[in-house]
């Protein structure tokens, strides 16, 4: 008994030790808050950052499907605008089949791109026309070149961008349409706030100053083949949808696989419940 | 190792008879999870989670072995092979999402299993060894999950590895050499990734081994039950099969519905977007957070923001975080109340529902929030309560509390009466 008592005594002392230590930290934190007069200092980034606009996407929700027309338009926007600076490393030309292109179109498109290759005669590094099995080539030979061409801000690879940001598809569309002048209220509230010399004000970007200049600036910048009017918002939405596809080409298949699995499981669970009820019915009575 | 009325395995089929003579494996299964294991008849659905945890361990091993066939543990290509699994491997996306969310569900069911143990004091004699092995399993799970999260080599993988191995750097004098030794370098890189992969493959089998010990230890006193009154006679028990196989089957169905709902429709809900950015040692994410199942302990780590006399704040936080789990090892000897179940412990019950559960909820929330006010102050208060609860309140409550009267037996608790109940036998709590 005395041994057990001593275990508990040690526990109480240790427990009080941790409690005093953490409350000590609490008091010093609370004193700092009282001195500052506020819980946390207000920053322009915190006050003026906006959450992405909420768009309706064809692939939203448990029954969502790709809108291949939109994906083709978005692909065109990527190809004609974004691909000048942004790579798409994890997407191969062959993947474009999912967008509704046939083999001939994919072969022709791949051949229109130069990919790194090796000269079969000399073994020297060279470039050759792409094949459907090749991946989208990067606009820069390496990260140093990408940084050098862009004021040290390396344009991120776009393959996974919509999965790599909170609410990514809405984020991309919001960001592309979100460029504006620094608001007057911001200048009034935070006179010290200054964009970096190469920054462009965008409330959807975490620190409000985006290195990328507005890429989509005028309606009709990309000519759509299907007659859709190419407004800046339309192009932004289309390319965001395309990037949602590049981030997870299997998304629609995933959702469509999910339904039979859940329906089967629901059926199995109801059966399991009924058999459990039947087996237990006997045990509820006082039979022994 | 079982009750005298346990059914005996009697094979009739000649093949099974042969097997029973040469290698009585069917007999082992029969006695472990079959009709040969008498179980208290009053187990609630809170007793489902052990079987569910076992299921998710097997699921993790199966999906993990498949993923390992397509993954390469090399910092140059790890991120790309993960994407290769997602895009090019047949059903690779399903394997990866099943594995990532399987880890989350493994933790969900294990946390429910542990909190069942807290409320019903499942750690008390004669079940101390089951509890101790359970805490060992939980520690192994945490190590395995942490190393698994590093493997995709995304930003959170890298920075999580850096922060967690950095904790060892807080140890005075030998901390930094230990950190370098653990990582095989000064920062996470190929050496760290390779050894984490190796250990991530190994540890689940170690867990499976300890699970066998856990179940073995369980079969010596038999399962606990919601009244905390030990089994007295045959009428207190039912054979595991078919009663609890059926009940666990239903529980498994419900768990799988929730699990596959997440896998197929919200597979990235519990993850962090930053882990879809390839690891970059030169770019620190704005908020480094571990996976959700570490949040309560991460909040305890970060709650110690001020040096305490000669102990630096960081060391204090590391000590507190490890102590927060290690103290569970001592619970059987800290809580000396003769009554097990929280149902019959009015004071304990109040501290459980209005103290421990809210404190854990606050720690959970603050662990996932950025390290700024008011989250830091909230987690400090919750951390203080956490240690007070287990190390101060529990020992004192068990001393001063007057428990409510217990039923004579499980039979009486379930059926309202027990022919064997003798007046006056309840004067002393049945243990």
pLDDT, tens digit, for every residue of B351-363?
Answer: 999 999 999 999 9
Residue B299 token pair: 């909040």
Domain assignment of residue A120, given as a range: 92-135
**Reported pTM:** 0.94
8 Å CB contact between A210 and A49: no
Do the chains contact at A163 and B268, CB–CB below 8 Å?
Answer: yes
Report, as ranges of residue numbers, the positions in chain B whose pLDDT lies below 50.
423-431
A96 in the same domain as A191 = no
Contact A42, B386 (CB under 8 A): no
B200-253 tens-digit pLDDT: 999 999 999 999 999 999 999 999 999 999 999 998 999 999 999 999 999 999
Query: For the domain that residue A57 is a member of, what is the CATH number?
Result: 1.10.760.10
pLDDT band at A1 (very low <50, low <70, confident <90, very high): low
Same domain, A224 and A238: yes
Of A185 and A5, the one with more pLDDT: A185
Is A143 within the bounds of a domain? no
The Cα B247–Cα B41 span in angstroms is 12
Burial of A128 (0-12, 13-18, 19+ CB in 10 A): middle
For residue B318, whether the previous peptide bond is cis, meaning omega lies within 30 degrees of 0, is: no
Same domain? A181 vs A271? yes
Which residues of chain A are within 8 Å of residue B267 when distances are taken between CB atoms? Answer: 254
pLDDT digits (tens, 9 = 90+) for B68-108: 999 999 999 999 999 999 999 999 999 999 999 999 999 99
Distance, C-alpha B319 to centroid of its chain: 21
Nearest to B384 among A19, A254, A273 (CB): A19
Same domain, A33 and A76: no
Indicate if the pLDDT at residue A285 is higher than 90: no
Which is nearest to B357 in space by CA: B45, B116, B104, B136? B116
| Same domain? A114 vs A53 | no
With an 8 Å Cβ cutoff, are B392 and A15 in contact?
yes
Substitution target in A276, A277, A282, A285 with the highest count of B β-carbons within 10 Å is A276
Residue B1's pLDDT is 52
Q: Are residues A79 and A172 in the same domain?
A: yes
User: How many CB atoms within 10 Å of residue A190?
Assistant: 16
pLDDT of A2: 60
Same domain, A184 and A219: yes
At A76-99, the pLDDT tens digits run 999 999 999 999 999 999 999 999
Q: Is A97 contained in some domain?
A: yes
Shared domain for A239 and A164, answered yes or no, is: yes
**CA–CA separation, B4 and B431 (whole Å):** 19
Residues A25 and A54 in one domain: no
Same-domain pairing of A8 and A75: no
Tell me what pLDDT residue B430 has: 45
**Inter-chain residue contact B384 with A269, CB threshold 8 Å:** no
Provide the pLDDT confidence category of residue A37 given band limits of 50, 70 and 90. Answer: confident
Which of A14, A24, A25 best tests the B interface by mutation, with the highest count of B CBs <10 A? A25
Rounded to whole angstroms, how far apart are CA atoms B36 and B145? Answer: 35
Are A90 and B83 inside 8 Å of each other by CB?
yes
pLDDT over threshold 70, residue A5: no
Closest alpha carbon within chain B to A264: B257
Does the distance separating the beta carbons of B304 and A276 come in below 8 Å? no
Asked whether residue A144 is domain-assigned, the answer is no
- The structure tokens listed for A4 are 């057990």
Domain membership flag for residue A12: yes
| Tokens linked to B59 | 């699921």
Neighbouring-strand partners of residue A115: A128
Question: Is any Cβ of chain A less than 8 angstroms from the Cβ of B273?
Answer: yes
Q: Is B314 helix (H, G, I), strand (E, B) or coil?
A: helix
Which residues are CB-neighbours of B111 under 8 A, at least 6 positions away? B293
Tell me, yes or no, whether A37 and A125 share the same domain.
Answer: no
CATH number for the B37-268+275-415 domain, one of 3.90.1170.50, 1.20.810.10, 3.40.640.10, 2.60.40.10? 1.20.810.10
| pLDDT (mean) for A15-34 | 92
pLDDT tens sequence across A164-206: 999 999 999 999 999 999 998 888 888 888 888 888 999 999 8
Give yes or no: residues A27 and A107 share one domain.
no
Q: What is the percent of chain A where pLDDT is above 90?
A: 77
| Contacts with A249 (C-beta within 8 Å, 6 or more apart), sequence order | A95, A98, B87
Instruction: Find the farthest-apart pair of alpha carbons in chain B and give their distance in angstroms, rounded.
Output: 75
User: Structurally, how many domains does chain A consist of?
Assistant: 3
Which structure tokens are listed for A238?
A: 């289309």
Spatial separation of the C-alpha atoms in residues B83 and A90, rounded to whole Å: 7
Region A266-272: mean pLDDT is 98
Residue A140 located in a structural domain? no
């Amino acid at each position: 008994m005395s041994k057990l008592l001593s275990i508990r005594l040690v526990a109480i002392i240790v427990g009080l030790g941790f409690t005093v230590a953490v409350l000590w930290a609490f008091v010093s934190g609370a004193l700092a808050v009282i001195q500052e007069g506020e819980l946390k200092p207000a920053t322009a980034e915190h006050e003026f950052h906006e959450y992405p606009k909420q768009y309706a996407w064809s692939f939203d929700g448990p029954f969502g499907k790709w809108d291949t027309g939109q994906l083709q338009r978005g692909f065109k926007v990527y190809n004609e605008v974004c691909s000048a600076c942004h790579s798409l490393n994890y997407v191969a030309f062959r993947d474009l089949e999912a967008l509704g292109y046939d083999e001939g179109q994919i072969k022709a498109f791949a051949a229109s791109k130069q990919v790194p290759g090796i000269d079969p005669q000399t073994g020297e590094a060279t470039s050759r026309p792409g094949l459907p099995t090749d991946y989208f080539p990067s606009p820069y030979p390496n990260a140093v070149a990408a940084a050098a061409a862009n004021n040290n801000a390396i344009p991120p690879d776009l393959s996974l961008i919509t999965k790599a940001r909170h609410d990514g598809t809405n984020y991309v569309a919001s960001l592309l349409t979100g460029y504006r002048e620094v608001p007057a209220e911001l200048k009034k509230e935070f006179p010290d706030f200054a964009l970096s010399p190469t920054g462009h004000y965008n409330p959807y970007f975490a620190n409000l100053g985006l290195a990328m200049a507005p890429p989509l600036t005028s309606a009709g910048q990309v000519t759509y083949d299907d007659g859709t009017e190419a407004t800046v918002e339309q192009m932004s939405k289309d390319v965001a949808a395309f990037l949602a596809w590049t981030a997870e080409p299997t998304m629609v298949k995933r959702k469509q696989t999910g339904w039979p699995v859940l329906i089967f499981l629901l059926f199995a669970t109801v059966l399991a419940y009924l058999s459990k009820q039947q087996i237990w019915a006997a045990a509820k009575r006082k039979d022994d | 190792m079982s009750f005298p009325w346990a059914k005996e395995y009697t094979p009739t089929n000649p093949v099974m008879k042969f097997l029973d003579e040469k290698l009585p494996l069917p007999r082992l299964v029969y006695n472990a999870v079959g009709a040969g294991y008498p179980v208290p008849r009053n187990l609630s659905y809170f007793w489902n989670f052990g079987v569910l945890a076992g299921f998710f361990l097997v699921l993790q091993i199966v999906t993990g072995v498949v993923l390992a066939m397509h993954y390469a543990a090399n910092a140059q290509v790890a991120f790309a092979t993960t994407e290769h699994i997602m895009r090019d491997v047949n059903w690779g996306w399903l394997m990866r999402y099943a594995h990532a969310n399987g880890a989350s569900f493994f933790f969900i069911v294990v946390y429910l299993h542990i909190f069942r143990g807290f409320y019903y004091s499942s750690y008390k004699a004669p079940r101390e060894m089951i509890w101790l092995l359970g805490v060992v399993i939980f520690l192994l799970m945490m190590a395995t999950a942490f190393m698994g999260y590093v493997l995709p080599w995304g930003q959170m993988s890298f920075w999580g590895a850096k922060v967690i191995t950095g904790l060892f750097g807080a140890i005075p004098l030998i901390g930094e050499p230990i950190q370098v030794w653990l990582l095989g370098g000064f920062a996470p890189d190929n050496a760290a990734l390779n050894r984490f992969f190796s250990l991530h493959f190994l540890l689940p089998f170690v867990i499976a081994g300890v699970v066998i010990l856990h179940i073995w230890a369980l079969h010596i006193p038999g399962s606990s039950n919601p009244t905390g009154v030990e089994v007295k006679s045959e009428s207190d028990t039912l054979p595991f099969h078919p009663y609890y196989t059926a009940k666990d089957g239903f529980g498994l169905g419900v768990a799988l519905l929730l699990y596959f709902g997440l896998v197929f429709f919200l597979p990235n809900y519990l993850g962090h977007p930053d882990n879809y950015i390839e690891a970059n040692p030169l770019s620190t994410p704005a908020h480094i957070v571990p996976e959700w199942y570490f949040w309560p302990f991460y909040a305890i780590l970060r709650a110690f923001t001020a040096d305490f006399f000669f102990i630096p704040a960081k060391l204090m936080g590391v000590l507190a975080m490890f102590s927060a789990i290690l103290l569970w090892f001592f619970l059987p000897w800290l809580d000396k109340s003769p009554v097990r179940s929280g149902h019959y412990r009015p004071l304990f019950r109040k501290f459980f529902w209005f103290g421990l559960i809210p404190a854990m909820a606050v720690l959970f929330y603050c662990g996932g929030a950025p390290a700024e006010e008011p989250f830091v102050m909230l987690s400090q208060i919750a951390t203080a309560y956490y240690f007070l609860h287990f190390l101060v309140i529990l020992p004192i409550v068990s001393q001063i509390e007057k428990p409510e009267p217990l039923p004579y037996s499980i039979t009486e608790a379930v059926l309202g009466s027990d022919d064997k109940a003798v007046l006056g036998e309840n004067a002393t709590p049945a243990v």
